[in-house]
Structure 1
Amino acid sequence: MEEHPDLEAVEFLLVDPNGVMRGKWAPADALKKAFREGVNFPLSLHGLDVWGREVSETGLHIESGDKDGYCRATRGTLAIVPWAKRKTAQVLLQTFTPEGEPFLADPRQVLKKKVAEIQAKGFFPVVAFELEFYLLDPETDWDDGMPAPVGAMAGPDRLRMYGLDDLAEHADLFDMIRDAAHAQKLPIDTIIKEAAPGQFEVNLKHRADPLKAADDVILLRRIVMGCARAHGMTATFMAKPFLEYAGNGMHVHASVLDADGRNIFGGSEGRPVLESAVAGLLRTMPESLLLFINTWNGFRRITPGSYAPTRAVWAENNRSVALRIPVSNDANRRVEHRIAGADANPYLVMSAIIQGMIEGIENKDVPPPPIEGNAYADEGLYLPDDMDEALQLMEKGRFADRALGPLLSKVYKDLKRAEIMAFWAEITPLERTTYL
């Protein structure tokens, strides 16, 4: 506040189990209270479905008195909002109980606890996220009210993968995104034109702090959407906004260091450790899939030939698999986890990946042989292709309890069941046209 004496407002940001940003606006002088004591929010914020509706089965709403918790500001996340019309700051909050304990239905608190647990064992993950998104023209109508991707109206075959012209056409927007990321201390790396009209990817640099890396994802999505709005466009991280085009993924690159800072996947001695991590991820993948694909729409992205994996298989340097070992030197040897949709909750994604890798390493699991060629034609384990099957697998197993802890595991399953029931309660226009 000394650096910004003209600060007028602050936006308090909280992330719910679906990865949806929630919060409130306050005058600038509320910042001091947020750091010292915390600001009040209902604990039930973490019991909302993807539409923001209360799910009573979570036990967090009126049946428990809809209690408040203390939500304290997270150090290192306070930053200026460059696209705001008046001088505004933002800060991520994390939730504590009225008694001052971390509230373990808060995804950020859960990942913080998970990271502390594995670091106490001598494992130090290094991770990086890649996020795909579409830029949309809100003045157009592509399909049933959905705006068209920018450039698509010039021809639906205007894919221009890796095209530099599309980046140049939106240079002012991407400059604003980079400037905002710099102001908020987000380590943006490359920006790429992706496989569909108006589709782009932003890559973040590797961090030795998985919690901060997940924060980066949340803040980057907000930056992209805010900057797009400032340029008269809409940005969407919806996993599959267009059936005819590629979906939006969230790829995660992960390696593990030892206490001396050496990559335990590197060299000939590290190869068995890498394969054990892969085996742990493959073994836990079916019952953790709903953490990576957290919406009904997200399962539309998982289709053969789409570069979104349909089988729990792995390979070297192969983009058709769920787990890819990229080309790299020993110091940078890592696993690329390619399943999650761009709308997934990065704290839950990270918790599941860390838990799966460490279980595999500790158990010295051995994976099946890596595949060659097209993974969609392989005989590997099929992943669930609908939300209900994925939830049933999660409920039958115990991996979610180990990855998230019992409270958030229960809350998350309750939320997903309520969302499934909401879709089942809808009769689609296509169904009606069958009879009318």
Structure 2
Amino acid sequence: MRPGETDTAAKTRAGKTGGPSSGPASPAAGEVERFLAAFPETETVELLITDTCGVLRGKWAPTATLSKAFGSGVNFPLSVFGIDVWGREVLETGLHVDTGDRDGFCRAVPGTLKPVPWAAHPTAQAVLTMHTERGVPFHGDPRTRLEAVVERLAGAGLAAVCAFELEFYLLDPNAPAHVTGSPAPVRAEPNGPERTNVLALSDLSAHSRLFGDIRAHAKAQGLPIDTIVKEAAPGQFEVNLKHRGDALAAADDVVLLKRLIAETAAVHGLKASFMAKPFMGWAGNGMHVHASLVDGSGENVFARPGSGEPLLEAAIAGLIETMAASTLLFVPTWNGFRRLQPGSYAPTRAAWGHNNRSVAVRVPASPPEARRLEHRIAGTDANPYLVLAAVLGGMLEGIERGLTPPPPTDRNAYDEPAPALPSTMGEAIRLFERSDFIRRTFGVEYRSLFSAVKAAEMAAFQAEITPLERSTYL
């Protein structure tokens, strides 16, 4: 298969092979007109697409471009999915000059046209998804990979209800640098005992204007923010999103909320960092996923009397079995593996348990109707579309095969004999490349594309001589 074509499943879903202008009318017909009627002063539209590494790429365009974005699509190179975290071409993906660096057509996702309240001039934004010249979803788009899993769930008569939790650091570029040379977290103590101040209201109050703006901007963009809490390190916070009955919208929420937080913090003279482990002595930034499954009537199948618990355990068993192979999607960066440390509340073993924060898959304490699981491995630097595709795909794997999980862990999972997760990027890449589950869930083309990007990043870090090496040996 040449780059620019999608896999068989995507062709089947598309149900057509015509060019980009021959498709049916957009289901969001009228969305542009309604938006511009409500915001007639809009001057610019930001067209956003999430690359393989979870980085938002895109264009600034005049508002006249919106009709094209919601119609035939806006030209973008397919190779946007063949670049590494630094934005450099990874030739091994086969998406660059060796195949002509072909264009695809990016169409706006209905419902994502929103104002950008922090912008200096009246601005709108819309989320895009990639299609080929033949009008079918492009296999290299992470959002398309999640869509394929959602459709498999629908074929089984199920839909996912999901919510994400995001941890991040607020850094002060104007404060004395941290010992690492990076900006220091806000309210970090330069002398004396460190105040982690977990759940401290005083730390929230100290930045009440920032968090007030974050809530206001989220409301303007329809992002369902729930709680904001002070986390377990100086300057570390967590924002929780409310659950969604649309898995794709739940992942959209994450990429848009991260951008919103970063841009709003910048307006306040601060830097928001979603790096998985910015400081070795303090907690890392996790991205937890809460997920349940509902049937066609909207009933939570995990809450059914009698059959609900076996279904939940089968879903958990699928996650346990596929966890090692999927780790590269949950921990896709060189730095991310520093976060997986014993005792850190970031899992190191494929264990599960009830109301236990040391495990990889936790069943939270909840009323029966909210019965769900919490997947705790991913760092906040991971791509939410790929994380959610792996989680839902693993759950479906367990349910379809009727798997049974190992006994739950009710103590410290770091001390249990459960299988260890990959501890290095190289190990994670090897397991990912060899996984039949990854091949079946993401497709052989995507498995090759993602592993090529991550292998290129690993090679770059392996080629770097660190300051510690020089200070020790030079």
Q: Which residue of 1 aligns with 2:179?
A: 143
Task: Note if 1:119 corresponds to 2:157.
Answer: no
Q: Contact conserved, 2:349 with 2:414, CA < 8 A, in 1?
A: yes
Q: Contact conserved, 2:166 with 2:288, CA < 8 A, in 1?
A: yes
Q: Which amino acid aligns with 1:352?
A: A
Q: Contact conserved, 1:131 with 1:202, CA < 8 A, in 2?
A: yes
Q: Contact conserved, 1:138 with 1:147, CA < 8 A, in 2?
A: yes
Q: Contact conserved, 1:348 with 1:404, CA < 8 A, in 2?
A: no
Q: Which residue of 2 aligns with 1:57?
A: 92
Task: Note if 1:435 corresponds to 2:463.
Answer: no
Task: Note if 1:152 corresponds to 2:180.
Answer: no
2:170 is paired with a residue whose SS is strand
Q: Give the TM-score of the pair, scaled to structure 2.
A: 0.90
Task: Note if 1:412 corresponds to 2:434.
Answer: no
Q: Contact conserved, 2:46 with 2:123, CA < 8 A, in 1?
A: yes
Q: Which residue of 2 aligns with 1:105?
A: 140
Q: Which amino acid aligns with 2:355?
A: N
Q: Which amino acid aligns with 2:458?
A: I
Q: Which amino acid aligns with 1:149?
A: P
Cα deviation, 1:122-157, whole Å, max 9, x if unaligned, reads 011111100000000011311343100000145561
Cα distance between partner residues in 1 of 2:356 and 2:60: 45
Task: Note if 1:31 corresponds to 2:66.
Answer: yes
1:52 is paired with a residue whose SS is coil
Cα deviation, 1:250-296, whole Å, max 9, x if unaligned, reads 00001111112111111332111111100000000001000000100
Task: Note if 1:384 corresponds to 2:384.
Answer: no
Q: CA deviation at 1:70?
A: 0.4
Stretches of structure 2 that go unaligned for 5 or more consecutive residues are 1-35
Q: Which residue of 2 aligns with 1:131?
A: 166
1:347-386 equivalence runs, <5 A: 347-386=385-424
Task: Note if 1:253 corresponds to 2:290.
Answer: yes
The structure 1 residue matched to 2:366, chosen from 328, 334, 352, is: 328
Q: Which amino acid aligns with 1:207?
A: R
Q: RMSD over aligned Cα, in angstroms?
A: 1.0
Q: CA deviation at 1:364?
A: 0.8
Moved over 4 A (4+): none
Q: Which residue of 2 aligns with 1:13?
A: 48
Q: Contact conserved, 2:337 with 2:423, CA < 8 A, in 1?
A: yes
Q: Which residue of 2 aligns with 1:219?
A: 256
Cα distance between partner residues in 1 of 2:80 and 2:438: 21
Q: Give the TM-score of the pair, scaled to structure 1.
A: 0.98
Q: Contact conserved, 2:433 with 2:448, CA < 8 A, in 1?
A: no
Say if 1:143 and 1:26 are closer, same or farther in 2 by CA, change over 3 A: farther
Q: Which residue of 2 aligns with 1:424?
A: 462
Cα deviation, 1:395-418, whole Å, max 9, x if unaligned, reads 122222222222222110110111
Moved more, 143-152 or 326-335: 143-152
The structure 1 residue matched to 2:308, chosen from 266, 270, 275, is: 270
Q: CA deviation at 1:105?
A: 0.3
Q: CA deviation at 1:60?
A: 0.2
The structure 1 residue matched to 2:78, chosen from 34, 43, 55, is: 43
Q: Contact conserved, 1:296 with 1:387, CA < 8 A, in 2?
A: yes
Q: CA deviation at 1:113?
A: 2.1
Say if 1:25 and 1:143 are closer, same or farther in 2 by CA, change over 3 A: farther
1:311 is paired with a residue whose SS is coil
The structure 2 residue matched to 1:306, chosen from 335, 340, 344, is: 344
How many residue pairs align between the two structures?
A: 436
Stretches of structure 1 that go unaligned for 5 or more consecutive residues are none
Cα deviation, 1:370-411, whole Å, max 9, x if unaligned, reads 012111111111111110001111112222222222222211
